[in-house]
């Protein structure tokens, strides 16, 4: 019986998804090596990949519904971790942010990366019930509370970048839970019209000033920004990307990252390193891989046998899309610099592990699409 | 869709999410296309520029040697602190003035000037912060690498001049190119940049293009902090050419000693080879220390030294040999005699003119300083320096005759010595008088009288006077005085002449105007004047005190009145001249001494010249001065 089940499971297992994820991480490890050839980051990343793959298999072969059932417990545990990380001496302070917990022997991990998963499960559990009508205000408020608690704790670290990546989880769940289309439209129009309006009003009234204004101005006109001050990261990243040309820069020995012109090359700006080493061709392939990965996930979501499974996958999709756009947009000088890792590419065990666990859920959902 | 969901068209919503994701990724791809394909080359260049630095390797400047190949000027390596321009591009450099001037002890004004200068210059050059950095300064730079990573210490050559102001006016000095110079086309043409050290005065300036080498450079890769990672390319510098001067250090030393001992410590001594114009010694006192300019000018103390030189009433920066103008007094007379004979105002057989103890022009009597010489011939008049004789000779020659003499001896031109800023002597002319004496513009006989014995409008540079007298000694061959004996050759640098960084070999070069001007002086007339000048020293003239056994000096004393006749006082004492050549009938050396505000030419000028001849005699004849010398001015 077990053997039969396993064989059937192996046949239905979404190998494409797994191979895409493993491929991107391996490619990422190579780019991490390019970015920091003398540091052991790329080896750690490969070890992380192995651990993450095991975790992904474990999640994939576990029935997601059981995990959704215990979502409140996991959610509660997550909140505890986010509180623990705030305790001095337990949480490690790096660059003024207390967002790491040191584990003796295993390095450090970042709770805010992992807590996304219980949040997704919690949202899926609450919004996964059979729907008949449109979204109610009560549902909306409860969704906000589910999201608001961890986000509030993360903002205390303070880690704005991570906090922002939680927002699309709720947004996509609400969107798929029958928010009226006109509200969606109104919000989108409001955002698009509101941003320039807020900028103009902010500058006029002086509310928007100092480094916040500078960071926005950098994006509006990187060429004329203060290239040694606020514009440094954006400008150097653009130069690095541009230098890559069609198929990568010729002189790899003295790259933007090895000469330390490009900051954080193995984490936040791994995409710029990729652009420098592989050029337009490599970048397009990477973006195509992401497109394929996302499309595959959405397909799996569509095939899900219940709303809960669909919401789990789509919340993960929302989170991935958001992070990819934010990170690459930042590397290309289109968005302000916010410390958001590029999923599967940036060096960091927590990020890789969390993303693989998320993909594990997606596989678990699609494995059980025929199960009654 | 496996589950029943009839709310708000879930299928469409999933599709919307998918399409939105693809559109967003598409936008990123378009942006990538813009950055990498459309503008890729531009960003590649920017990336290249921010990692490549061209660091100059300063070329050693050629040394300056005396005629015996003793070193006069060389360069020694010093530490220089530089600020990378590229690494301070985005920041306000003026905000660095305070920490740099305090940390390194530099005048803030100098830093401000330098920062101003580089604004108009192309990138990739370093800004000079401090020359001659001490160990403490280098330690300061090291200690501030974190705050000021753009600072760099390099070894550069610094010019070192002889002590005590020796040869200061001849050698000149090097200095940083000034903002004004940078704006001038002749400097721009040579591609100078701020911080470049160029010859500013003297031989350093005149022969700058030979002395200066051609800088090499290192093309290096730097990281974001400006630290050098590796060297991509290196082009070795080509040293400047060495210059051998005509200076004889022994004679120069003797000349400077004489001036130092003179009553006011002011004056000029020039010694020259009349056979070719090579200058053995050229001393102008007071002198100055050129090291102020090459080493200390960027410090407060150095600027103060410079300021006190500028304010010194004795004007030590002026080279009196070529920039000072003095009435020649009686040294004018042999020139007048030469011209008088040549023009036929007098002749060898009939040269007697009345002295009469002076002359009356209109109702004014101008006396002969030597008393009444009766009616002497030209030999006697030169020997005894008879003013009355020359008053009448001048009147016979008229202004036009005197002007023809001036023209013949080039006294109305620069001598062409290879030093900068030589001035032209003042010589008599109607135009000059009309211009300078508007109340009395007409040229009168009294003006001719004054002009005929070296007063009035005769105001000469010592170098012009020496050149003219040397021509008399040489039978009319008049050479351009010069200090360059030879510019030495330098080998090529590089192996491939087709490369842009190949430095061609530079050949030997000598002074460019070696040909004499030949004056139309008949030999017999010339011999008469030479004989008279020999008699000044050797028979019964005004300078018999310096007579030298075995070395026939020919010369003429001069006492130049500083102010109007009759006024006396220490400050207004006459300038004391002696101009000469020796041996009289086959000259090897000519020499002029002009001692300011000392008195009679025979008392100060002549003994100074004798001291030079003593040294010359000892050097060339290999013996001490003959017994019976009555001048005790041995130099060493």
- Would you say residue B70 has pLDDT above 60? yes
Nearest residue of B to residue A184 by CA position? B13
Residue B327 domain flag:
no
Query: What is the model's pLDDT at position B101?
Result: 86
* Partner A, chain B 227-286, Cβ-Cβ below 8 Å: 229-230
CB–CB contact A298 B17 (8 Å): yes
Angle at which helices B333-343 and B462-473 cross, to 10°: 50
In angstroms, the Cα distances linking A188 to A191, A313, B22, B25, B27 are 5, 23, 18, 18, 18
The residues pairing with B53 across neighbouring beta strands, listed in sequence order, are B220
Of chain A, the percentage scoring pLDDT greater than 90 comes to 37
Lowest mean pLDDT among A308-312, B121-125, B609-613: B121-125
Residue numbers in B near A183 (CB within 8 A):
none
Query: Across residues B376-397, what is the average pLDDT?
Result: 92
Tokens of A248: 């990568």
Query: What is the model's pLDDT at position B624?
Result: 58
Q: What is the pTM of this model?
A: 0.71
Tokens of B137: 């300064």
Query: What is the model's pLDDT at position B632?
Result: 45
Chain B nearest-CA distance from A279, in A, is 7
CB–CB contact B17 A314 (8 Å): yes
B149: preceding bond cis by omega (within 30 degrees)? no
Reference B164, options B246, B77, B252; nearest CA is: B252
Same domain flag for B18 and B112: no
Q: Where does a domain end: B211, B245, B279?
A: B245
Q: Using alpha carbons only, how large is chain B's radius of gyration in Å?
A: 35
Residue B586 domain flag:
no
- Max mean pLDDT range (A5-9, B128-132, B282-286, B433-437): B282-286
- Would you say residue B367 has pLDDT above 90? no
- 3-class SS of residue A100: strand
CB–CB contact A259 B17 (8 Å): no
Count of pairs with CB atoms under 8 A, one residue in A, one in B = 154
Residue B75 domain flag:
yes
- 3-class SS of residue B54: strand
User: Among B2, B47, B223, whose Cβ lies nearest the Cβ of A303?
Assistant: B2
Full residue range of the structural domain in which residue B22 is found: 10-38
Same domain flag for B194 and B92: yes
pLDDT band at A328 (very low <50, low <70, confident <90, very high): very high
Residue numbers in B near A175 (CB within 8 A):
13, 17
Write down how long chain B is. Answer: 636
Same domain flag for B92 and B230: yes
B193 touches chain A (CB under 8 A): no
Same domain flag for B27 and B108: no
Q: CA-CA distance, B129 to B139, in Å (whole number)?
A: 15
Query: Across residues B88-109, what is the average pLDDT?
Result: 82
Residue numbers in A near B224 (CB within 8 A):
259-261
Q: Where does a domain end: B245, B262, B281?
A: B245
Query: What is the model's pLDDT at position B320?
Result: 95
Q: CA-CA distance, B533 to B539, in Å (whole number)?
A: 10
- Would you say residue A75 has pLDDT above 90? yes
- Would you say residue A4 has pLDDT above 60? no
CATH label of the domain that carries residue B86: 3.90.1310.10
Query: What is the model's pLDDT at position B178?
Result: 85
User: Among A321, A332, A369, whose Cβ lies nearest the Cβ of B35?
Assistant: A332
Reference B412, options B450, B457, B474, B472; nearest CA is: B457
Same domain flag for B71 and B148: yes
- Would you say residue B195 has pLDDT above 80? no
Same domain flag for B61 and B163: yes
Same domain flag for B104 and B25: no
Lowest mean pLDDT among A343-352, B95-104, B265-274, B626-635: B626-635
Reference B468, options B455, B458, B479, B459; nearest CA is: B479
Chain B nearest-CA distance from A145, in A, is 24
Chain B nearest-CA distance from A284, in A, is 7
Query: Across residues B610-624, what is the average pLDDT?
Result: 87
Query: Across residues B358-380, what is the average pLDDT?
Result: 86
Residue B389 domain flag:
no
Residue numbers in A near B2 (CB within 8 A):
303-306, 369
Mean pLDDT score of chain B, rounded to an integer? 87
User: Among A229, A280, A304, whose Cβ lies nearest the Cβ of B37?
Assistant: A280
The CA-CA-CA angle for residues B194, B196, B201, to 5°, reads: 115
Same domain flag for B31 and B172: no
Residue B190 domain flag:
yes
B583: preceding bond cis by omega (within 30 degrees)? yes
Q: Work out whether strand B64-65 and strand B243-245 pair parallel, antiparallel, or are unpaired.
A: parallel
Residue B506 domain flag:
no
Residues B134-165 pLDDT 10s: 888 888 888 888 778 788 888 888 889 999 99
Query: Across residues A89-105, what is the average pLDDT?
Result: 76
Residue numbers in A near B95 (CB within 8 A):
none
CB–CB contact A239 B7 (8 Å): no
User: Among A228, A321, A334, whose Cβ lies nearest the Cβ of B21?
Assistant: A321
Instruction: Check residues B154 and A8 and name the one with the higher pLDDT.
Output: B154
Chain B nearest-CA distance from A263, in A, is 10
Residues A128-160 pLDDT 10s: 887 777 788 888 999 999 999 999 999 888 888
B1 touches chain A (CB under 8 A): yes
Residue B152 domain flag:
yes
- Would you say residue A170 has pLDDT above 50? yes
Query: What is the model's pLDDT at position A2?
Result: 47
Residues A263-318 pLDDT 10s: 888 888 999 999 999 999 999 999 999 999 999 999 988 888 888 889 999 999 99
- Would you say residue A220 has pLDDT above 60? yes
Instruction: Check residues B224 and B625 and name the one with the higher pLDDT.
Output: B224
Residues B47-61 pLDDT 10s: 888 888 888 888 889
User: Among B3, B18, B50, whose Cβ lies nearest the Cβ of A295?
Assistant: B18
Residues B14-42 pLDDT 10s: 898 999 999 999 999 999 999 999 988 88
Same domain flag for B22 and B64: no
- Would you say residue B1 has pLDDT above 60? no
Chain B nearest-CA distance from A114, in A, is 23
Residue B137 domain flag:
yes
DSSP B118-174: HTTS-SS-EEEEESS--HHHHHHHHHTTTT-TTEEEEEEEEEEPPGGGTTHHHH--E
Query: What is the model's pLDDT at position B534?
Result: 95
Residue numbers in B near A325 (CB within 8 A):
24-25, 28
Same domain flag for B104 and B27: no
Query: Across residues B320-327, what is the average pLDDT?
Result: 94
Tokens of B240: 């400047």
Number of domains in chain B: 2
Q: Where does a domain end: B192, B210, B245?
A: B245
Nearest residue of B to residue A229 by CA position? B90
A361: preceding bond cis by omega (within 30 degrees)? no
- Would you say residue A54 has pLDDT above 90? yes
Residue numbers in A near B39 (CB within 8 A):
242
B57 touches chain A (CB under 8 A): no
Residue numbers in B near A280 (CB within 8 A):
32-33, 36-37, 40
Same domain flag for B17 and B80: no
Query: What is the model's pLDDT at position A217?
Result: 79
- Would you say residue B633 has pLDDT above 70? no
Lowest mean pLDDT among A167-171, B225-229, B449-453: B225-229
Same domain flag for B27 and B56: no
DSSP A5-57: HHHHHHHHS-HHHHHHHHHHHHHHHHHHHHH-TTSTHHHHHHHHHHHHHHHHH
User: Among A133, A176, A305, whose Cβ lies nearest the Cβ of B10?
Assistant: A176
Of chain B, the percentage scoring pLDDT greater than 70 comes to 94
User: Among A259, A325, A334, whose Cβ lies nearest the Cβ of B229?
Assistant: A259
Residue numbers in A near B18 (CB within 8 A):
294-295, 298
Query: What is the model's pLDDT at position B2?
Result: 56
């Amino acid at each position: 019986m077990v053997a039969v089940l396993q064989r059937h499971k192996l046949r239905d297992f979404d190998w494409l998804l797994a191979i895409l994820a493993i491929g991107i991480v391996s490619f990422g490890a190579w780019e991490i090596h390019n970015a920091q050839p003398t540091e052991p980051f790329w080896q750690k990343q490969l070890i992380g990949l192995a651990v993450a793959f095991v975790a992904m298999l474990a999640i994939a072969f576990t029935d997601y519904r059981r995990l959704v059932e215990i979502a409140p417990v996991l959610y509660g545990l997550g909140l505890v971790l986010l509180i623990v990380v705030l305790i001095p001496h337990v949480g490690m302070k790096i660059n003024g942010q207390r967002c790491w917990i040191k584990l003796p022997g295993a390095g450090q991990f970042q709770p805010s990366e992992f807590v996304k998963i219980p949040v997704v499960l919690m949202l899926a559990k609450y919004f996964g019930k059979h729907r008949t009508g449109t979204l109610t205000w009560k549902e909306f408020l409860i969704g906000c509370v589910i999201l608001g608690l961890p986000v509030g704790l993360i903002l205390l670290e303070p880690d704005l970048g991570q906090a922002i990546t939680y927002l699309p989880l709720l947004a996509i769940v609400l969107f798929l839970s029958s928010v009226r289309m006109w509200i969606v439209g109104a919000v989108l129009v409001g955002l698009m019209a509101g941003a320039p309006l807020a900028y103009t009003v902010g500058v006029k009234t002086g509310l928007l000033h100092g480094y916040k204004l500078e960071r926005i101005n950098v994006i509006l006109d990187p060429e004329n920004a203060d290239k040694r001050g606020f514009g440094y990261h954006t400008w150097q990243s653009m130069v690095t990307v541009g230098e890559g040309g069609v198929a990568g820069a010729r002189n790899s020995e003295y790259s933007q990252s090895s000469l330390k012109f490009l900051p954080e090359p193995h984490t936040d700006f791994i995409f710029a390193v990729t652009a420098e080493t592989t050029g337009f061709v490599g970048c397009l392939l990477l973006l195509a891989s992401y497109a394929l990965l996302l499309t595959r996930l959405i397909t799996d979501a569509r095939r899900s046998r219940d709303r809960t499974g669909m919401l789990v996958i789509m919340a993960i999709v929302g989170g991935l899309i958001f992070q990819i756009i934010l990170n690459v947009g930042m590397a290309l000088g289109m968005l302000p610099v916010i410390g958001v890792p590029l999923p599967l590419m940036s060096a960091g065990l927590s990020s890789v592990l969390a993303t693989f666990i998320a993909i594990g859920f997606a596989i678990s959902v699609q494995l059980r699409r025929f199960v009654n | 869709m496996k589950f029943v969901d009839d709310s708000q068209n879930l299928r469409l919503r999933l599709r919307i999410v998918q399409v939105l994701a693809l559109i967003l990724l598409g936008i990123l791809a378009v942006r990538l296309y813009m950055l990498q394909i459309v503008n890729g080359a531009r960003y590649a260049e920017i990336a290249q520029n921010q990692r490549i630095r061209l660091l100059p390797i300063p070329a050693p400047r050629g040394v300056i040697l005396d005629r015996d190949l003793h070193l006069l000027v060389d360069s020694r390596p010093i530490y220089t602190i530089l600020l990378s321009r590229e690494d301070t591009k985005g920041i306000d450099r003026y905000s660095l003035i305070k920490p740099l001037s305090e940390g390194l002890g530099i005048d803030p004004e100098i830093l401000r000037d330098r920062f101003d200068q580089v604004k108009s210059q192309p990138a990739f050059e370093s800004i000079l912060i401090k020359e001659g950095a001490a160990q403490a300064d280098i330690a300061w730079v090291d200690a501030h690498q974190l705050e000021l990573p753009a600072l760099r210490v390099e070894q550069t050559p610094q010019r070192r001049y002889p002590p005590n102001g020796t040869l200061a006016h001849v050698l000149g000095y090097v200095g940083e190119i000034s903002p004004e110079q940078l704006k001038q086309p002749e400097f721009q043409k040579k591609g100078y940049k701020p911080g470049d050290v160029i010859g500013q005065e003297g031989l350093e300036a005149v022969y700058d293009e030979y002395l200066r080498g051609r800088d090499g450079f290192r093309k290096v890769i730097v990281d974001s902090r400006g630290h050098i990672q590796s060297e991509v390319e290196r082009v070795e510098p080509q040293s400047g050419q060495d210059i051998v001067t005509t200076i004889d250090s022994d004679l120069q030393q003797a000349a400077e000693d004489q001036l130092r001992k003179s009553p006011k410590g002011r004056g000029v001594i020039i010694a020259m080879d009349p056979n070719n114009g090579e200058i053995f010694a050229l001393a102008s006192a007071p002198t100055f220390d050129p090291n102020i300019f090459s080493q200390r000018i960027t410090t407060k103390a150095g600027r103060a030294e410079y300021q006190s030189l500028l304010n010194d009433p004795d004007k030590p920066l002026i080279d009196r040999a070529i920039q000072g103008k003095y009435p020649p007094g009686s040294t004018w007379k042999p020139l007048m005699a030469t011209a008088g004979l040549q023009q036929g105002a007098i002749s060898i057989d009939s040269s007697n003119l009345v002295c009469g103890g002076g002359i009356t022009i209109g109702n004014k009597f101008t006396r002969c300083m030597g008393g009444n010489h009766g009616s002497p011939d030209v030999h006697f008049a030169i020997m005894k320096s008879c003013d009355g004789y020359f008053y009448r000779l001048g009147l016979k020659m008229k202004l036009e005759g005197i002007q023809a003499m001036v023209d013949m001896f080039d006294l109305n031109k620069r001598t062409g010595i290879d030093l900068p800023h030589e001035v032209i002597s003042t010589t008599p002319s109607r135009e000059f008088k009309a211009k300078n004496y508007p109340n009395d513009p007409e040229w009168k006989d009294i003006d001719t009288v004054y002009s005929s014995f070296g007063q009035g409008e005769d105001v000469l540079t010592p170098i012009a006077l020496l050149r003219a007298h040397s021509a008399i000694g040489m039978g009319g061959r008049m050479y351009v005085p010069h200090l360059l004996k030879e510019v030495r050759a330098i080998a090529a640098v590089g192996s491939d002449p087709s490369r842009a960084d190949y430095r061609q070999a530079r050949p030997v070069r000598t002074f460019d105007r070696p040909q004499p001007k030949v004056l139309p002086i008949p030999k017999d007339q010339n011999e008469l004047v030479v004989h008279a000048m020999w008699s000044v020293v050797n028979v019964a003239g005004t300078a018999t005190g310096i007579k030298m056994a075995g070395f026939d000096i020919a010369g003429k004393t001069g006492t130049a009145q500083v102010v109007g006749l009759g006024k006396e006082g220490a400050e207004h004492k006459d300038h004391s001249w002696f101009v000469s050549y020796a041996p009289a009938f086959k000259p090897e050396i000519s020499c002029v001494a002009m001692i300011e505000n000392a008195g009679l030419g025979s008392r100060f000028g002549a003994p100074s010249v004798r001291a030079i001849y003593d040294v010359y005699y000892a050097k060339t004849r290999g013996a001490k001065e003959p017994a019976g010398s009555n001048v005790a001015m041995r130099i060493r």
